Copies of this chain bind each other. A is one copy, B any other.
């Protein structure tokens, strides 16, 4: 046991009631999954814990289906750079994209609270349609339920995405190997801080907008130049820290980030300092994290920077054999510290 082991978070399965942290994307979310959902739902596909389920297609030897679902409960519904509708489409197509799938169809289910202005619903739905058109995907099925005033919060949207990918494509959060490089496609934390700035009434000198965007074409471009890609993820709830903590645990490797290389906008850094947050834990909604063998890192980085959504991409870290299952950060000053898993809830209802 070393200093790193000692800092590992201790699981606490002792909650008798749901708390906000169970929706954080961090340690408590993982514990709820392990305690309640995984024991009940014995699907090997679910237990693979990828961002999308891969299903074999009878009679189609070369292709797989990818299936993913997410509920969106973000507040406020409208924020700089997006709204809950744009987020509901981007979030789900991105979970397909990071598995290397091309989205083919979406479903959308709405839980509306009595009293929701129909003009707001129309604006949200138009926003969903715009992103669908941009991605080239259709909403093919839907549902609407209405709950009494005070029993919901305006609008919750659940989208499910169906995609197609070549059967040979096997990206996985468990596939990282020592020596691999970690890349991000742009500055981290924009979405979370954009939401928070609206909620808390923080004004920035320059307008900070959410990075919310569909990542299908970026992901496809990356796969084209680097078919050796081990894994891609979109760092949403729990931020870069959550993705890399999961990667470290599931690939049984150490991850070391280089603070000086991490792209963080000045406004995000300033807001984080003001609010006592760490950008590593703040959600993005239009960024990719990728892990790739070192030999292909430069080529991948160049391709990412050529894409409009990857202009500020950077190599930010490395996969190690040392301290397996842990994420560390080498600071600007040369020191190294553990980046612990998010234990509670940092920014509720960020997506």
Contact = CB atoms under 8 A, between A and B. Distances in A.
Interface residues of A, number: 84
A164 B112 contact: no
B114 A19 contact: yes
Contact of A20 (B15, B21, B146): B146
Contacts of A52: 141
Nearest to A143: B70
Interface stretch (A154-162, A176-184, A259-267): A154-162
Interface string A43-59: 10110000011010111
A156 B151 CA distance: 11
Contacts of A349: 145, 147-148
Main secondary structure of the interface of A (DSSP, over half): mixed
A41 interface: yes
Number of copies: 2
Interface stretch (A124-132, A212-220, A326-334): A124-132
Given A29-B144, A71-B145, A138-B46, A37 B125 contact: yes
A139 interface: yes
A72 to B, nearest CB: 8
A122 interface: yes
Given A15-B118, A17-B118, A349-B147, A139 B43 contact: yes
A201 interface: no
Given A143-B70, A145-B71, A57 B57 contact: yes
A36 B121 contact: yes
Contact of A43 (B37, B65, B119, B138): B138
Interface in A298-351: 345, 348-349, 351
A276 interface: no
A23 B125 contact: no
A110 interface: yes
Given A63-B59, A115-B17, A151-B153, A37 B104 contact: no
B32 A144 contact: yes
A327 B326 CA distance: 65
Nearest to A73: B145
A339 B128 CA distance: 37
Contact of A141 (B53, B117, B128): B53
A62 interface: yes
Contact of A156 (B45, B111, B351): B111
Nearest to A18: B116
A223 B16 CA distance: 47
24 contacts: A18-B121, A23-B112, A23-B144, A23-B147, A32-B144, A35-B118, A36-B125, A45-B140, A45-B141, A53-B107, A53-B141, A55-B104, A57-B60, A59-B63, A67-B141, A67-B160, A73-B147, A145-B351, A148-B349, A150-B150, A151-B152, A151-B153, A152-B152, A158-B160
Interface of A: 15-23, 29, 32-33, 35-37, 40-43, 45-46, 52-53, 55, 57-60, 62-63, 65, 67-73, 104-105, 107-119, 121-122, 125-126, 128-129, 132, 138-148, 150-153, 156, 158, 160, 162, 164, 345, 348-349, 351
Closest 9 CB pairs of A and B: A23-B146, A53-B140, A158-B158, A69-B107, A160-B160, A43-B138, A151-B153, A18-B116, A45-B140
